[in-house]
Chain A
Amino acid sequence: MSERTRPSDYGAESARIVRDDPGMRTSITGAVRSKDEKRQAAWAQIDAGAWRDWARDVKTHVLTHLDRYLEEAEDALLRNGVTVHWAETAAQACDVVARIAADHDARRVVKAKSMLTEEIGLNESLEGAGLEVRETDLGEYIIQLLDEPPSHIVGPSLHRSLEDCRQLFHERFGTPLDASPEALAATARRILRNDFLEADLGVSGANFLAADTGTIALIENEGNIRISTSIPPVHVAMVGIEKLVPRFEDLAGLIQLTARSATGQGIGNYVSLIQGPRRPGERDGPDEVHVVFVDNGRTRLLADEHAWEVLRCVRCGACLNTCPVYRQTGGHAYGWAYSGPIGAILAPGILGLEAAMPLPFASSLCGACAEVCPVRIPIPELLVYWRERAVEEGLTPTVDGVAMKSWAALAEHPGAFALASDLVGALPLERTGRKLPVLRGWMGERAAPVPSPERFLSTSSGKEEST
């Protein structure tokens, strides 16, 4: 899959996945249901309501004082001996990393899992500059071998079954077709261990960055992030500007809540708290640490009176796991790095609303996502907000837009609504049903039901319902 899909392909892609790839749907549904159950169990052990209020307030506090915390973080990072870079766009961010690599004559890059680097297309950019880039998270490694994008914020390869992995490793590394998961993991460990030891550059994201101590916090389970940030001589951390937290001690709550929401663990198996390059007296660690603060649409979201709340997101994936729409297709249908409900409200800010279409519409507005968001982002309200903006800006597909606008106008005027209903009933549909313009796509493979000559609200059942 070297041709990447885009958000505008959502309709066709989701239909294709559901129709042509039932195995993928099975893998995804099973995996995210299990994650959702684990989150529920982990939340049941704590006063989840109080934890979520606290986390929401910490993040909102940061976002309403973000300039102050960015400056404070920069000071702390510089004190720690970290080089600080700023990038307004994805292209600038990629250029910064390419320049750091060039300054060190770097050829090999190991990467710790980072959704921000997926968002900005860092791998493609570095590979274009002649660098060898290796993803080291096992899931990321699998999809890198398959040349696929991640299908989930936390579990990038969860759309792939054990069988898929066996086949892949057999073709690439000659492991037996019935190899155990342990044997496959051991193969990856052996190959990647070598990459770690020979890498010139380690690139990570950041779950959080504490402004007072300049601490880069990273959560994981495999150990690849600790190794990527400990062994190569240069570590570059890509940090979205919304990742700041005020204090080192705030990390204690956010790390635990993120783990409980993402995987149902009390904490990630490994948490890295990084304060800069190796210091005198330390026997190992990188000689240089760089932090790249990335905007790429975040200040645009921050400026929006409603949409800014999405910037509280801690990327736990709980809203994907619970979403009945995501569960049908997985993340690929959404056509960019962040899928599911959270992706649909991040996309308009980061990609621009036009490029994000129709993702704000890729939801049934059932509200499950809001119930599970650990930082209480009002996801359904923001989906509706972006839908309204899309209609205002004339970005909805013409036929649907006209139909929705006409329906809205009719719904507000009962007399006109009744008249329109009568008109539909009076259409000679037995002969022309398949030719109705609004329904052409839908009816291509279906027989049209014939509208009742009587209006629903004038029938006895309609009246009962309406009283």
Chain B
Amino acid sequence: MSPRNRILGYVRGATASRPRVPHPGRFDGRFLVGDDRPPMERFAEQFTAAGGEVERFVDTEAAVRWLGEFTRGYESVTVGATVPGRLRPALPSTCPDLAPLGVSAAVAAVAETGSLVLDARDGRRTQLLAPTHVVFVREQDIHQTLVGAMVTLQPDLPSALGLHSGPSKSADIGQILVRGVHGPGRIVAAVIREAGPV
């Protein structure tokens, strides 16, 4: 018999006479963290508290202007595959492990946890390897709860989603907090208010 079938056999034998316990239901509004302020406000508060930065723009035009300023001083960039043309910095493109700056587009954000939801289809190395990471997200894609974001995204999952909720950090050296250990030490959530595609 294969290990698979033996393990499943042990499991069946172990639980055969045990009373079955039902699933307690969705982790829904009953478990809301804190209050129900507008998602943008809560997202900004949580993301900033974790050490991230938040920039808000009324429209793409304003975001483009800010990006021009922000990227001054950088020599090259790695840009996610789904970042729209207008939001791609006017810098030479380089491979993610050499780039000083990464620019991605998030598929969603979460207010209660202050998280950006990044999709593998945008490119994982761009999300992870540059020391500074700028992530564009539409304000309308900020969900109040994590479960809300997950239920929305579930029908079309990529090979991996990454929830990024602040800069990379560690307290493994003498319990002292250090940023930028493996992932980006600086992360900016650039939130665009206007409806429609970023």
Which of B19-27, B53-61, B66-74 touches A?
A: B19-27
The stretch from B85-93, B167-175, B189-197 touching chain A is B167-175
Report A154-181 CB contacts with B as 1/0, cut-off 8 Å.
0111101111110000000000000001
Q: Closest CB-CB distance, A268 to chain B, in whole Å?
A: 7
Query: Beyond the given A138-B181, A224-B182, could you list 14 further A-B residue pairs with CB under 8 A, ordered by the A residue number?
Result: A34-B175, A61-B23, A139-B170, A164-B174, A185-B173, A193-B97, A196-B182, A222-B168, A223-B182, A230-B120, A230-B128, A241-B7, A271-B165, A272-B162
Known: A189-B182, A248-B150. A51 touches B159 (CB 8 A): no
Are A165 and B128 touching (Cβ within 8 A)? no
For B62, the chain A residues whose CB sits under 8 A away are: none
Q: Name the segment of A252-260, A359-367, A412-420 touching the other chain.
A: A252-260
Q: Is A409 an interface residue (CB 8 A)?
A: no
Q: Which of A120-176 touch B at CB < 8 Å?
A: 136-139, 142, 155-158, 160-165
Residue A398 at the B interface, CB < 8 A?
no
Known: A279-B158, A302-B15. A138 touches B172 (CB 8 A): yes
**A54 pairs with B174, CB closer than 8 A:** no
A157-B172, A181-B178, A192-B182 known; A266 vs B27 contact (CB < 8 Å):
no
Tell me the A residues contacting B by CB distance below 8 Å.
Answer: 27, 30-31, 34, 45-47, 50-51, 53-54, 57-58, 60-61, 63-67, 70-71, 74, 86-88, 92, 136-139, 142, 155-158, 160-165, 181-182, 184-186, 188-189, 192-193, 196-197, 213, 215, 221-224, 226-227, 229-231, 241, 246, 248-253, 255-256, 265-279, 281-285, 293, 295, 299-300, 302-303, 308
Task: Indicate whether A142 sits within 8 Å of B34 (C-beta atoms), given known contacts A65-B20, A188-B181, A270-B162.
Answer: no
Given A249-B151, A266-B112: A87 in contact with B3 (beta carbons within 8 A): yes
B37 contacts partner chain A, Cβ-Cβ < 8 Å? no
Shortest beta-carbon distance, A67 to chain B, in Å?
A: 5
Q: Tell me whether A253 and B124 are in contact in the complex, defined as CB-CB below 8 angstroms, given that A213-B154, A229-B160, A303-B14 are known contacts.
A: no
Kindly list chain A residues whose C-beta atoms are within 8 Å of the C-beta of B123. 282-284
Measured CB to CB, the nearest residue on chain A to B112 is A266
**Which residue of A is nearest B2, CB measured?**
A86
> Across the interface, which residues of B come within 8 angstroms of A71, CB to CB?
8
The CA of A185 and the CA of B174, in the complex, are separated in Å by 11
Task: Name the distance in Å between B152's Cβ and chain A's nearest Cβ.
Answer: 10
Interface contact A302-B159, CB-CB below 8 Å: no
B79 to chain A, nearest CB (A): 11
Q: How many residues of B contact A (CB 8 A)?
A: 74
Asked if A138 contacts B173 (CB within 8 A), the reply is: yes
Say whether, besides A142-B173, A249-B147, A88 and B31 are in contact (CB < 8 Å). Answer: no
CB distance from A197 to the nearest CB of B (A): 6
B163 within 8 A of A: yes
Residues of B10-59 whose CB lies within 8 A of A = 10-15, 18-24, 26-27, 30-31, 33-34, 46, 50
Q: Is the CB of B170 within 8 A of A221?
A: yes
Q: Check if B159 sits within 8 Å of A45, measured CB to CB.
A: no
**Residue numbers in A under 8 Å from B172 (CB-CB):** 137-139, 142, 155-158
Contact string against A for B residues 119-130, beta-carbon threshold 8 Å, 1 for contact and 0 otherwise: 011011101110
- Are A57 and B147 in contact, CB atoms less than 8 angstroms apart? no
**B96-130 vs A, Cβ < 8 Å mask (1 yes, 0 no):** 01000000000000001111000011011101110
Q: List 15 A-B contacts (CB under 8 A).
A: A34-B175, A46-B31, A53-B24, A64-B21, A88-B7, A189-B181, A189-B182, A227-B183, A231-B125, A251-B150, A252-B146, A267-B113, A267-B165, A269-B165, A273-B157
Closest residue of A by beta carbon distance from B26 = A249
Most buried by A among B2, B26, B172: B172
Q: Which residues of B contact A27 (CB under 8 A)?
A: 174-175
